[in-house]
Structure 1
Amino acid sequence: MAPPAWLLGGLRPSAAPIPWAAAARAAVAMSVPLAVGFALDEPQYGALVSMGALSGVIGDTADAYRMRILNIAVPQLAGAVGVTLGTLVFGHGWLAVGVLTLVALVSGMISSIGMVASVSGLLLLLNAVIGAGLPLPHPWWTAPLLLTAGGLFVLLLSLLGWPLRGRLPERTAVAATYRALADSLEAAGGPASVYDERRRQVTQALNQAYDLVLGRRARVHGRSPSLVRILAQLNVVIPLVEAAPAAHLRGRPLPPEIPAAVRDLADAVEEGRTGAPVLDLPAPHTPAERAVDSALRHAAAVVHLAEPDLHNVDDRLGRPAALGARVRRAVRDMMFSEASWRYGLRLALCIGLAQSLVSLVEVERSYWVALTVTFVLKPDFGSVFSRAVLRALGTAAGLLVAAAVLAEVPRGWWDVPVMVVLAALIPAFSAKGYAFQTAAITPVILLLSDQLNHQGFDLIRPRLLDSLIGCAITLVAGYLLWPESWHARIGDRLADTVYDAARYLERAFAPAPDEAALAEARTLRVQARRRIYRDLSGVRSEFQRALTEPPPTGARAAAWWPLVVAVERIVDATTAARVRVNHGAEPPTAQEVESLAHRLRELAERVRSSTNPVRADAEPADEVSGVLAPLHQEVAAARALVRPTADR
């Protein structure tokens, strides 16, 4: 009997490259504290610093140096608070149960704010569980200080290259956007499946580049010439991105000189080249060709500009709100969000059950039960069900390595070279998938735990038993008892995106009385388009998560994929029509735009009322020959994927 597809998907290693620099940092950050602890004859102190470094290694995922400060330092502060609370209730029985349950509620709710908050919530709860379950050194502030020192050591190592590579991550991300766009232009006019995949890669590259650049700008006061130049180079790629769908709808490939010129711009961005650009492009003839030619020449002029005007940057996305305002808005949204309360209550229920169980039943190393619950019950990290199964398998594999290490390696200085190897495997295996990450982390945690309690090989059996208990609690109380676990959330999110597509269509062809209104309309249109593609990226992430769920959820999720692709093509067709109008095509009438927007809103209602798409009889596309003809065809194709509720 073959394993189910959802399990094979989780066990199949990702094609992501191994982060060698992160692996080297992990090896140094986790072995040096251990060596210092042995040198000072305080191995338990060294183990605690290495534990703190482990949390820093897990959070060391950002490219930009300023983002690394947030990704590592902020969660360390949350972890310090957590271990302090746990230490204060250590050995207090039901008081510890109540405190950890409350911490779990807070941890779950703040996880809905964003990635940094999610990791902070994770560390808050993890360290609280460790403090409440392990006899840590006295006085009470010792453990928080040592754990935080380990995390900050990782941060220090990750920032060593900042003076030499301070702006490299942003430049690299912008250059990657140009290269992804070149691949998309190369695929334009060819097979639709190839072009769709290349266009999704452009969206992903744009999202990453804007996150890095705007994240850096939010912390820069005043105008930075280098930042303005990077932002200008990124903004001028938008007209090219908009022209790509129009070029694809031509039905024939673009001249090879065009993607080659875009790749040359990518090299210029990455190398910081300036000077007069040299472009040898064929003469354009159609509106789509003129759009590509105009956007490419404008991009070349901006990319090679040595000193952009600090006060005249084509900044369409607006300056981010102040940090304090964004924090207040995030906290307000969290407090009034049904989803954040629901997840917080799920996590609190599972942690409360885990702690109550180990308070009533004698369980060795009982804190591992709650630790397992915390790691598994992270819906924003992936499917709860598959994570529980994959964690059990990963733990079993990691225990085999740990058993060999604890049985054969003498306790003491030999642990240091072993830690060098095992710590380096954590970033390398984390890039390959959750089961691989668990298999790499398990022997490290056991080796460090052995420095604190000196149980050696006897740690193996309780570690496996407690992990299985934690996975069982999560599957029952955190998954099976919640109705939302049994259906994908793709439909509602996709319906919202279709509504946004209708508004985008109306905004794209809204009349503008003057040049100022035209410029403002274009800015709003670009923002709307970026928002739609970000939403579609979120839908695709939800789709990938749902595919790892067991039947029937995974099978139902798979049925949504054709509609996801159809909505992406609707947005592309709208953008292509607007680009063609900008370069000479006849604009559509207001009645035609209104009719198409109405049909899109009807489609959104169908999607929202559907548990999964049901193929309907194909609707004949309107017999039109204007600039919106491709959009009529895409809307008809999308509506054919979902039958009206009354017809079911």
Structure 2
Amino acid sequence: MSTERTEGIPSRRSRNHPLAPPSWLLNGLRPTGAPIPWAAAGRAAVALALPLAVGFALDEPEYGALVSMGALSGVIGDTADAYRMRVLNIAVPQLFGAVGVALGTLVFGHGWLAVGALTLIALVSGMISSIGTVASVSGLLLLLNAVVGAGLPLPSPWWTAPLLMSAGGLLVLALTLLGWPLRGRGPERSAVAATYRALADTLEAAGGPDYEERRQQVTHSLNQAYDLVLGRRARVHGRSPSLVRMLSQLNVVIPLVEAAPAAHLRGRPLPPEIPAAVRELAAAVEEGRTGSTPDLALPPPHGQSERAIDAALRHAASIVLLAEPDPYNVDDRLGRPAALRVRARRAVRDMMLSRASWRYGLRLALCIGLAQCLVSLVEVERSYWIALTVTFVLKPDFGSVFSRAVLRALGTAVGLVVAAAVLAEVPRGWWSVPVMMVLAALIPAFSAKGYAFQTAAITPVILLLSDLLNHQGFDLIRPRLLDSLIGCAITLVAGYLLWPESWRTRIGDRLADTVHDAARYVERAFAPLPDPSALSAARTARLQARRRIYRDLSGVRSEFQRALTEPPPTGARAAAWWPLVVAVERIVDATTAARVRVDHGAEPPTADEVARVTQELRSLAEGVRASPVPLRVAFDPEGDESSVLAPVRHEVAAARALTHPPA
């Protein structure tokens, strides 16, 4: 069985041993295989330690700590690849963070006015988090900094803290942009080259057990590359030659990606010269080589799938190495994104009309309101930490609330152990600078490994900065642990148990939508063309439909991994959907392979056969939507075994046979 089929599913050993930790907790504590971002670690070390050094030099350590707090926000938000997106990811959230700390400072010490203000800010923060990645980080900083401003005595006048914290974020941005003159187009070009390499791995695995895992990797690489290139195109007025080249290089990958399923269904490996040629094209893309004559030493093709790969590979070589791509003959495949102003208006409109957006905002507002009411009625030392914990745990687009609460408590406990050693052994002063360099560098490194690891890395940094502001030293440790546990308890009760939709997985609904899209894709792939001139438009529409299906499946996979971290019965119900997720991917692959075979000489299927398959897919989608767990529905795959749709019929049958009735 391939890794893709088993990754993230609880092992039999963890289920059978009663003393073993629950599988949902093990999934959250297991570090991911993401590489350590060394450059980001170096930037974090400089960005957080340098302000402290300047503050000590000027005998204003509190000012240096505030600048470092702003830098910490910038480090957390620096998650994009392309430089233009990094500007947005750092600068825009800093603006919201400055507004948040200003509002918090203005209501500091005003009792119930502060409770009402923070509750309203939490509602706005939760709602705007549904817009997108930049808005999500902006909403997070808006609420976090408002909580800090309302809970800590910051320097006067009121604009001092926003100014200093914004300076810290701008310092991170400046350090990030140092490489732009040297690598301005590097992230986009590297993403396109990575797509070619992932494709080479997929073609090399065709016909073998690792194909499905490699195909998932090429889908992820293609999504990332298109997001970077098309995101940049949305901000470029006119036609940039380098952008046209990268978009052309991406577009010619699509026929090769389409031909890969047909090659896999043959059941035997491709000649090694084919993946080697694709890797050579990847090197040409990354090095920017152009103008040379393509020289592909490919073996003679045998069969429809090899002919499709041969034709697509030779065409890709001619485009990759073309000296002057035609700037007016570039098809975006997914369509050119609207202008940023237009997308912003649409996002705000969708947010205001979305029930999910209001629901997230109300959940966050309820928990923050309860946290602030508690600290207003009960004497809690440095009470802002409770609301900070609620904000981090209940971030609605960050994953499972239940598992995040548990992982937050565990990560905080580990971080407090580190902080206790630092506060007990390191004297306040210049020694804080090298210690901060080490602790800050751990934040990007640990953030790549998982939420609990990120929490463990951030906790000692925040405590060290808090100590520079309020001079409590080791006495900070015990209240912080108690506050974190109180915040996690509020989130579990008011943000999880009181909202029934938190208990069920959304995999079924999202998967039903994807199966419906697969039915439309089958119809579109084999629809008769009344006019030969419509061939190009039909092909583009088919490619767009296929790409959207795979994007939807990526979302289903993300939801599946999130659901596995939930406690029973949600995690167990999520695991029951996994065979159907894989089966739907195989249906789409089989449909693409059938279309490739028809394009290279195979007999097209009859209209009745296409109608039967699409009807069965729609019936499957309705069954998926109506059931909390997969149901077995009989489907007879009988038909002409020589038809190109025979593999599709068998995959549809497998999609129904793999699932099981509820216990």
User: Shorter-normalised TM-score: what interval?
Assistant: over 0.9
1:168 has 2:186 as partner = yes
Rounded to whole Å, the distance in 1 between the matches of 2:22 and 2:660 is 30
Rounded to whole Å, the distance in 2 between the matches of 1:641 and 1:51 is 52
Rounded to whole Å, the distance in 2 between the matches of 1:518 and 1:368 is 61
Query: What corresponds to 2:508 in structure 1?
Result: 491
How much does 1:456 deviate? 0.5
Superposed CA deviations along residues 379-415 of structure 1, whole A, max 9, x for unmatched, are 3111111111111011111111111111111111110
How much does 1:317 deviate? 2.3
Contact 1:607/1:642 (8 A) holds in 2? no
SS, match of residue 239 in structure 2 = coil
Query: What corresponds to 1:292 in structure 2?
Result: 309
1:468 has 2:485 as partner = yes
Rounded to whole Å, the distance in 2 between the matches of 1:642 and 1:183 is 30
Rounded to whole Å, the distance in 2 between the matches of 1:107 and 1:379 is 10
* Residue 588 (structure 2) aligned to one of 555, 560, 571: 571
1:230 has 2:271 as partner = no
How much does 1:189 deviate? 1.2
SS, match of residue 397 in structure 2 = helix
Rounded to whole Å, the distance in 2 between the matches of 1:554 and 1:9 is 11
Query: What corresponds to 2:201 in structure 1?
Result: 183
Rounded to whole Å, the distance in 1 between the matches of 2:331 and 2:202 is 23
Residues 621 and 157 of structure 1, relative CA distance in 2, 3 Å threshold: farther
* Residue 241 (structure 1) aligned to one of 257, 271, 274: 257
Rounded to whole Å, the distance in 2 between the matches of 1:36 and 1:615 is 67
How much does 1:617 deviate? 5.3
Kindly provide the amino acid, as one letter, of the partner of residue 49 in structure 2: S
How much does 1:590 deviate? 1.3
Rounded to whole Å, the distance in 2 between the matches of 1:512 and 1:328 is 37
Rounded to whole Å, the distance in 2 between the matches of 1:325 and 1:90 is 37
The aligned runs of 1:191-270 (5 Å cut-off) are: 191=209, 194-270=210-286
Superposed CA deviations along residues 182-213 of structure 1, whole A, max 9, x for unmatched, are 1111111122xx11111100110011111111
Query: What corresponds to 2:5 in structure 1?
Result: none
Rounded to whole Å, the distance in 2 between the matches of 1:222 and 1:125 is 39
Query: What corresponds to 1:456 in structure 2?
Result: 473
Rounded to whole Å, the distance in 2 between the matches of 1:492 and 1:581 is 33
Query: What corresponds to 2:107 in structure 1?
Result: 89
1:78 has 2:89 as partner = no
Kindly provide the amino acid, as one letter, of the partner of residue 151 in structure 2: G
Residues 543 and 35 of structure 1, relative CA distance in 2, 3 Å threshold: same
1:542 has 2:559 as partner = yes
How much does 1:10 deviate? 1.3
SS, match of residue 560 in structure 1 = helix
Query: What corresponds to 1:327 in structure 2?
Result: 344
Contact 1:606/1:644 (8 A) holds in 2? no
Rounded to whole Å, the distance in 2 between the matches of 1:404 and 1:124 is 31
How much does 1:636 deviate? 1.0
Contact 1:606/1:642 (8 A) holds in 2? no
The aligned runs of 1:18-37 (5 Å cut-off) are: 18-37=36-55
How much does 1:615 deviate? 3.9
Rounded to whole Å, the distance in 1 between the matches of 2:331 and 2:260 is 20
Query: What corresponds to 2:82 in structure 1?
Result: 64
How much does 1:23 deviate? 0.3
How much does 1:516 deviate? 2.9
Rounded to whole Å, the distance in 1 between the matches of 2:78 and 2:360 is 25
Q: Which contiguous aligned blocks of 4+ residues in structure 1 show a shift greater than 6 angstroms?
A: none
How much does 1:8 deviate? 1.3
Superposed CA deviations along residues 234-284 of structure 1, whole A, max 9, x for unmatched, are 111000000001111111111111011111111110111121111011111
Query: What corresponds to 1:427 in structure 2?
Result: 444
Superposed CA deviations along residues 128-171 of structure 1, whole A, max 9, x for unmatched, are 10111111111111111111110111011000000001111111
Contact 1:613/1:641 (8 A) holds in 2? no
1:14 has 2:22 as partner = no
SS, match of residue 279 in structure 1 = coil
1:54 has 2:72 as partner = yes
Kindly provide the amino acid, as one letter, of the partner of residue 587 in structure 1: P
SS, match of residue 222 in structure 1 = coil
How much does 1:513 deviate? 2.7
Query: What corresponds to 1:562 in structure 2?
Result: 579
Contact 2:634/2:656 (8 A) holds in 1? no
- C-alpha RMSD of matched pairs (Å): 1.3
Kindly provide the amino acid, as one letter, of the partner of residue 220 in structure 1: V
Could you state the TM-score of these two structures normalised by the residue count of structure 2?
A: 0.96
SS, match of residue 171 in structure 1 = helix
Kindly provide the amino acid, as one letter, of the partner of residue 216 in structure 1: R
The aligned runs of 1:275-354 (5 Å cut-off) are: 275-354=292-371
Contact 1:621/1:636 (8 A) holds in 2? no
Structure 1, gaps ≥5 residues long:
none
How much does 1:514 deviate? 2.9
Contact 2:630/2:661 (8 A) holds in 1? no
Contact 2:579/2:659 (8 A) holds in 1? no
Contact 1:10/1:433 (8 A) holds in 2? yes
Contact 1:101/1:351 (8 A) holds in 2? yes
Could you state the TM-score of these two structures normalised by the residue count of structure 1?
A: 0.98
Query: What corresponds to 2:57 in structure 1?
Result: 39
How much does 1:618 deviate? 6.5
Structure 2, gaps ≥5 residues long:
1-18
